[in-house]
Amino acid sequence: MPYAEEHAVTGTGGGDALTTRWTAAWTPATAAVLTTASARGVTPAQAAEGVLRTRMRAARDEGGPTAAQALTALEQAAHCALPVLAADALTELTTVLPSTATLPELLAGQRLVDRLAAGHVAGLDPDDEQRPRLVAAADALSAAAVRALDGIGGSEDVEDARALVELARKADESGSLRLADALVRLASDGTPLMAAAAGVVRALLGHTPAGDFGRRIASWVDGAAGPSARAALTARLTGLCTAAGALLETAPDVLDPLLDRVTTLPDREFLDRLPAVRGGFDTLSPAARDRLLDVVESRTGTVLTALTTDPATQAAWTRADLTARETLAALGLELPPQGPDVHEAPDVQEAPEAPEAPEAPDVQEAPEAPESPETPLTLTPPERWRLLLGRRSDELPAATAPLATALDELYGAGRGEGARGDLTGRSGGRGAPYPGVREWAEALTALFGPGVREEVLAAAAAAGRTDAVEALDPDAARPSVELLRTVLQHAGGLPESRLAALRPLVRRLVDELTRALATRLRPALTGAASARPTRRPGGGLDLARTLRANLATARRTDDGRIVVVPERPVFHGRARRAADWRLVIVTDVSGSMEASTIWAALTASVLAGVPALSTHFLAFSTEVVDLTEHVSDPLALLLETRVGGGTHIAAGLRHARRLVTVPSRTLVVVISDFEEGYPLGGLLGEVRELVGAGCHVLGCASLDDAGRPRYSTGTASRLVAAGMPVAALSPLELARWVGEKIR
């Protein structure tokens, strides 16, 4: 009944709030709804229960409630103070969620049940009989969430990293051995983001020594020598900072190896890695980066602020330092080796005989920004950390400031705590940003080189800058699915005049990726791409098969030769595009399937070239689109595919069932994360229909080059029980499966 509107309230420290805040008002809609609701009961409680039971019954009639519907039913029953209905909804929730829900839904259910058990929902105070049921439900949801971890190994979503930390915090209270095993698998086989998040959780739980994890972080920086490795470095640092950025502040064993790496890297190698590392640390809020910078200062013993005093005072400090050094040398005392701050004043070491002419200020008075990446540029450790964290950039010297300006053009000031105001009084002040992307691209080339320039522009395009996409050089861009995904996202919203400028880039990316994929897939399709052998004369003689088929007639002649009498000759069939087998690729194009959709389109285009296959391509979200006419042209196929919307797998399979003519020679491959947005009964029914008819059905849990899955394990297990095998496959493994079936 719309007589009040609730406003969001956040508890202290981001926890659950124990109070609510509402705005109440009597409106004409209130009177109208009261009149309608009165048909459900005399009192408000009766009317509310009647409405909610009707909704629950309707969900069951549609094939069973979805996980989202089960969550909503329990929450609404609790807020309406209906204990009997809440008990029924709790029973339904503990039945539905463990078998169908995704990891975020399982955690949401666990949070709701915990709130109910703690009495944090007004109007529903659990008694001694209800509380054990709520505790048992929470334990069941926690166990199901741990099982769901195997389905997020291929995730590139930071929300999954946060969910991993939340789950680990709750599951560790019971000392889950299953959780420890799942974390090991994630840390070794997951995407760079999820592997790093799992490594953080293992360090937080004490499953691995903090020092070992710190050395692993340093190895990420060491190994980031190429474009793909630098992209992985950004993802790993994002996972680290998302899962527990405070770990760097509070665990010296974790931070020290990274400090050493940042200090000792040669300037050229540091500049190559600088945008990638800055991208990972940008996950932290500005205030968190300020705190980390303070920790770095305390750990290294260096003052990470610019020398803002007057030159005379700086010269007096330098003379005092040099005088002290000479005095110690005269007494026969040697100074200990200097730490990271030895780089702060290299000129002082080069001219100890001239204390009257201090050289230290010259470090701050370096020449203007280098005109090419080969120009020598000395970066001190304080300057390096200010560049990496994007903080106190206004204190950088003139030679280094352009680096910070170029990176700030991409990352800005940051988001979250400290983004709007700076309580410490620190703020950037290097002037206006670049007037356009062309000037920015030129500066990136001069500062970092053309290779890193393309990586930075690609990152800017992924962040939403359309002008950065248009600035990419089609000949210099490194083909990757990530870049193609970014370009296609922007291409859909551009007018034809601007889209024409992007077509050469899209064409090159698609051609290069398709060519590389086809090179790997063709060996898996050997035998399927050629005409079938036959005993009917007409084609050439298949000598190898003829010999094998007539070994029983082999005999040795008097002169010792072996003679085979070809009683059953085998011929090559006439080459033709015979639709011996029908392959129907049913691809999920909902919002969570962008990269997998690209791999599916490229793979379908390669498989469409197999003569023995008639390949169909169906794209579905909540509706189904048949794109079979474009399947031989991967560029046209990708441009016609629109990613976004919900997920209705049953509709895609229903359309695929209409294409079946000879079930025993039909392959149906469903590429999806199996996060079905509709009741699961319809999906299971479609699978049983296809399997019962004799079709070869396979569920592919997402699709990427490494075969790392990101899917709902609960739904997948139900599909396996219905007769559809589900596996995490790479395009090569999918091609092998197809080849084995049609040979």
pLDDT for 628-645, tens place per residue? Answer: 998 888 888 887 877 777
Q: What is the largest CA-CA distance in the chain?
A: 112
301: left (phi over 0), alpha (psi -120 to 50) or beta: left
DSSP 474-516: TTTSPP-HHHHHHHHHHHTTS-HHHHHHHHHHHHHHHHHHHHH
Angle at 398 between CA 395 and CA 400, to 5 degrees: 80
Q: What's the confidence (pLDDT) of residue 427?
A: 44
Q: What's the confidence (pLDDT) of residue 667?
A: 92
Residue 224 exposed, middle or buried by CB count within 10 Å (0-12, 13-18, 19+)? buried
Q: Judge contact between 721 and 621, C-beta under 8 A.
A: no
Q: How many CB atoms lie within 10 A of CB 611?
A: 16
Q: What's the confidence (pLDDT) of residue 51?
A: 87
Q: Which mean pLDDT values do the consecutive 10-residue runs of the chain (743 residues) have?
A: 81 67 87 79 84 88 86 91 90 89 89 87 74 86 87 87 85 69 89 92 88 91 88 91 85 88 88 89 87 83 52 75 82 61 40 40 38 59 86 80 82 69 44 68 79 79 73 75 76 65 79 83 65 64 83 84 85 58 90 80 86 88 89 83 83 92 92 88 91 92 77 89 89 85 76
Q: Which of 100, 157, 110 is nearest to 712 (CA)?
A: 100
Angle at 715 between CA 711 and CA 716, to 5 degrees: 65
Taking each helix axis from N to C terminus, what angle separates 680-693 and 713-722, rounded to the nearest 10 degrees? 40
Q: What's the confidence (pLDDT) of residue 357?
A: 39
Give the pair of three-digit tokens for residue 24.
């109440």
Q: What's the confidence (pLDDT) of residue 513?
A: 83
Q: What's the confidence (pLDDT) of residue 514?
A: 84
Q: What's the confidence (pLDDT) of residue 539?
A: 65
Q: What's the confidence (pLDDT) of residue 670?
A: 93
Instruction: Tell me how far apart the alpha carbons of residues 100 and 658 are, in angstroms, rounded to a whole number.
Output: 27
Q: How many CB atoms lie within 10 A of CB 454?
A: 22
Q: What's the confidence (pLDDT) of residue 245?
A: 79
Instruction: Tell me how far apart the alpha carbons of residues 323 and 319 are, in angstroms, rounded to a whole number.
Output: 6
Rg (CA), the chain: 32
3-state secondary structure at position 399: coil
Instruction: Tell me how far apart the alpha carbons of residues 212 and 221 are, in angstroms, rounded to a whole number.
Output: 15
Amino acid making up residue 409: E
